[in-house]
Amino acid sequence: MIRFLALMLLPVAACAEVPQGAPNAGFSPAFAEQTRAPALPTTNVQVDVLTDKLDRPWGIAPISARQFIVTERGGTMRIINGDGSVSAPIRGLPEIESRQQGGLLDVAVSPDFANDRVVFWTYSKPVNGGTVTAAARGVLSGGEMTKVRDIFVQNPPSRAPFHYGSRIIPMPDGTVWITTGERNEERHLAQDNSTTYGKVIRINADGSIPADNPFVGGGGDDAIWSYGHRNPQGAAIGPDGALWTIEHGPAGGDELNRPEAGRNYGWPIISYGVNYNGSDVGSGVAVQEGMEQPVYYWDPVIAPSGMAFYDGPYAPWQGDLLIGSLNPGELVRLKLENGRVVGEERLLQDMGRMRDVEVLPDGTVLVLMDNSYGVVLRVRPR
């Protein structure tokens, strides 16, 4: 347990550059700011534990100033109160298959949640032939989810319980962003736009398709926004109003992207990583005409998960991107200028797997951890 962190001030050690191992041989960045940004000035952060009573949590979202809804990968959804107490499981969820990387995954609430009480979530849905990444919505009423229905179901099913992607972001204009992985064993489908594997998906909140999606009317599944993604487990709306995503590479090559309509992000043809056995991804190149470059990449990896842009009273962090790292396990801060990364900081090092990040209106950063115990940290820069 990590209760000893309560109200502890954690200074992050300064270093000339962000500590990293040797990169994979044979790859050079496509532009100067694409990897290994200079170390940012050290930040002192105050950290306390909101709760340590969760089991394999995956996603968290605020539903009021002092209440948060959280998913547990085994298939339960709960409410965390401001005093750290945790509710009983919310009733009314659909059947969920929790195996390997699958289960109940991300959660988000309607931009008008105070009035409509609508909750969105993603999960691995059992179907004939395996599982699919699915997104659902419901209305939270007391301790029960009512009016539950799927608004997106990936196709086709897979028997591989990996790479579900699964971040979900409902937007004020009534659209919803969803990220999907390529399920590992079907990686080639990330380039097949008749499927929704390895894609960024854009739908309406009722499951219908926005008329201005890039493949509407032919050339691919109408729900697809961008393709050629591996396993995007992070997504956030930036200060520029655009969607930003982050995805796991193989051995090396985690990517930060700003997905544009109809664009191809290259997986599994190009990558700054190699396969886990050391063999080449595709033809062993990281740049190819007609395929997009990541805004930034890590080699070695940080195993990125949830992320959020900071918008709060601590001026040195304003507009910065905060990313949860599963391995080595830390909170990664990126400073961006003119769409490029100009600095990086590693915080909360050696504390464990950081699965999701949420920035509250007062500038408090919630960090969801899914070690052998499930913890929510409150982090405040000083």
Q: Are 20 and 36 in contact (CB under 8 A)?
A: yes
Residues 6+ apart with CB under 8 A from 164: 101, 102, 105, 122, 124, 133, 180, 181, 183, 231
- The residue among 194, 195, 304, 299 whose CA lies nearest residue 252 is 299
**Which amino acid is located at 45 in the chain?**
V
- Cis (ω within 30 of 0) for the bond into 268? yes
**163 part of the active site:** yes
Name 173's Cβ contacts closer than 8 Å, sequence gap at least 6.
none
Alpha helices in the chain (DSSP H): 113-116
Backbone angles phi, psi at 4, to 5 degrees: -65, -10
Nearest CA among 320, 287, 325 for reference residue 306: 325
Taking the C-alpha atoms of residue 75 and residue 268, their distance in angstroms, rounded to an integer, is: 31
Query: Which residues have CB under 8 Å from 70's CB, separation 6+?
Result: 54, 57, 59, 60, 61, 77, 78, 79, 80, 107, 368, 376
Catalytic residue numbers, as ranges: 163
